[in-house]
Amino acid sequence: QVQLVQSGAEVKKPGASVKISCKASGYTFTSYYMHWVRQAPGQGLEWMGIINPNGGSTTYAQKFQGRVTMTRDTSTSTVYMDLSSLRSDDTAVYYCARDRRDGYTSFDYWGQGTLVTVSS
Protein backbone atom coordinates (compact mmCIF):
# COMPACT_ATOMS: atom_id res chain seq x y z
CA GLN A 1 0.00 0.00 0.00
CA VAL A 2 1.13 3.53 -0.72
CA GLN A 3 2.66 5.28 2.27
CA LEU A 4 4.33 8.64 2.73
CA VAL A 5 6.13 8.90 6.05
CA GLN A 6 7.48 12.27 7.10
CA SER A 7 10.15 13.24 9.58
CA GLY A 8 9.30 14.47 13.03
CA ALA A 9 8.38 17.84 14.47
CA GLU A 10 10.95 20.64 14.51
CA VAL A 11 11.44 23.75 16.59
CA LYS A 12 13.57 26.43 14.96
CA LYS A 13 14.64 29.98 15.72
CA PRO A 14 13.89 32.82 13.33
CA GLY A 15 16.46 32.97 10.55
CA ALA A 16 17.27 29.27 10.73
CA SER A 17 16.53 26.60 8.13
CA VAL A 18 14.55 23.39 8.33
CA LYS A 19 14.75 20.27 6.19
CA ILE A 20 11.82 17.86 6.19
CA SER A 21 11.88 14.39 4.66
CA CYS A 22 9.11 12.35 3.10
CA LYS A 23 9.82 8.67 2.49
CA ALA A 24 7.62 6.97 -0.07
CA SER A 25 6.79 3.28 -0.30
CA GLY A 26 4.32 1.00 -2.02
CA TYR A 27 4.71 2.39 -5.53
CA THR A 28 7.32 3.28 -8.12
CA PHE A 29 8.87 6.41 -6.65
CA THR A 30 10.04 7.94 -9.90
CA SER A 31 6.65 7.61 -11.61
CA TYR A 32 4.77 10.20 -9.54
CA TYR A 33 5.45 13.85 -8.89
CA MET A 34 5.43 15.01 -5.27
CA HIS A 35 4.04 18.27 -3.91
CA TRP A 36 4.53 20.14 -0.67
CA VAL A 37 1.59 21.85 0.99
CA ARG A 38 1.56 23.68 4.30
CA GLN A 39 -1.12 24.66 6.78
CA ALA A 40 -0.62 27.32 9.42
CA PRO A 41 -2.42 26.73 12.74
CA GLY A 42 -6.17 27.06 12.26
CA GLN A 43 -5.70 28.15 8.65
CA GLY A 44 -6.20 26.75 5.18
CA LEU A 45 -3.92 24.90 2.79
CA GLU A 46 -1.10 26.55 0.86
CA TRP A 47 0.75 24.95 -2.06
CA MET A 48 4.52 25.40 -1.96
CA GLY A 49 5.84 23.55 -4.96
CA ILE A 50 6.38 20.31 -6.84
CA ILE A 51 9.27 18.00 -7.59
CA ASN A 52 9.57 15.37 -10.28
CA PRO A 53 11.47 12.49 -8.66
CA ASN A 54 12.48 11.34 -12.13
CA GLY A 55 15.20 13.86 -12.86
CA GLY A 56 14.61 16.19 -9.92
CA SER A 57 13.07 19.14 -11.76
CA THR A 58 11.10 21.52 -9.55
CA THR A 59 8.54 24.30 -9.70
CA TYR A 60 8.09 26.55 -6.69
CA ALA A 61 5.36 28.98 -5.78
CA GLN A 62 6.62 32.52 -6.32
CA LYS A 63 6.01 33.26 -2.64
CA PHE A 64 8.71 30.80 -1.63
CA GLN A 65 11.18 31.36 -4.46
CA GLY A 66 14.67 31.83 -3.06
CA ARG A 67 13.80 30.27 0.28
CA VAL A 68 12.65 26.76 -0.63
CA THR A 69 14.57 23.87 -2.14
CA MET A 70 13.02 20.51 -2.97
CA THR A 71 15.27 17.56 -3.65
CA ARG A 72 14.99 13.81 -3.87
CA ASP A 73 17.06 10.69 -3.26
CA THR A 74 15.95 7.90 -5.56
CA SER A 75 18.07 5.33 -3.69
CA THR A 76 15.87 5.75 -0.61
CA SER A 77 12.64 6.91 -2.31
CA THR A 78 12.72 10.07 -0.26
CA VAL A 79 11.91 13.67 -1.11
CA TYR A 80 13.11 16.61 0.95
CA MET A 81 11.88 20.14 1.46
CA ASP A 82 14.32 22.70 2.78
CA LEU A 83 12.98 26.10 3.87
CA SER A 84 15.44 28.80 4.89
CA SER A 85 15.30 32.22 6.58
CA LEU A 86 12.46 31.02 8.76
CA ARG A 87 10.00 33.54 10.20
CA SER A 88 7.32 33.16 12.80
CA ASP A 89 4.66 33.00 10.09
CA ASP A 90 6.35 29.86 8.71
CA THR A 91 4.99 28.03 11.75
CA ALA A 92 2.80 25.38 10.16
CA VAL A 93 2.22 21.73 9.48
CA TYR A 94 4.04 20.78 6.29
CA TYR A 95 2.70 17.94 4.15
CA CYS A 96 4.11 16.03 1.23
CA ALA A 97 1.42 14.84 -1.16
CA ARG A 98 1.63 12.54 -4.17
CA ASP A 99 0.32 13.72 -7.53
CA ARG A 100 -2.18 11.34 -9.14
CA ARG A 101 -0.73 12.18 -12.57
CA ASP A 102 -3.84 11.02 -14.36
CA GLY A 103 -4.89 14.01 -16.46
CA TYR A 104 -5.95 16.25 -13.60
CA THR A 105 -3.34 17.12 -11.00
CA SER A 106 -4.65 16.18 -7.58
CA PHE A 107 -3.13 14.81 -4.41
CA ASP A 108 -4.17 11.23 -3.75
CA TYR A 109 -1.83 10.32 -0.89
CA TRP A 110 -0.53 12.58 1.83
CA GLY A 111 2.13 12.28 4.47
CA GLN A 112 1.09 12.54 8.10
CA GLY A 113 2.42 16.08 8.33
CA THR A 114 5.40 17.65 10.07
CA LEU A 115 4.86 20.50 12.52
CA VAL A 116 7.49 23.21 12.25
CA THR A 117 7.43 25.78 15.03
CA VAL A 118 9.46 28.96 14.55
CA SER A 119 10.00 30.77 17.81
CA SER A 120 12.73 32.72 19.52
Interface residue list for another protein (CB under 8 A): 35, 44-47, 50, 59, 61-63, 95, 97, 100, 102-108, 110-113
Nearer to another protein, 29 or 95 (CB): 95
Nearer to another protein, 41 or 75 (CB): 41
From the CB of 67, what's the least distance to another protein, in Å? 14
How far apart, in whole angstroms, are the C-alpha atoms of residue 114 and residue 50? 17
Nearer to another protein, 47 or 80 (CB): 47
104-116 b/e with 16+ CB inside 10 Å = b?
eeebebebebbeb
- Bridge partners of 19, per DSSP, are 82
From the CB of 72, what's the least distance to another protein, in Å? 19
How far apart, in whole angstroms, are the C-alpha atoms of residue 32 and residue 103? 12
From the CB of 1, what's the least distance to another protein, in Å? 12
Query: How would DSSP label each residue in 22-44?
Result: EEEESS-GGGS-EEEEEE-TT--
From the CB of 37, what's the least distance to another protein, in Å? 8
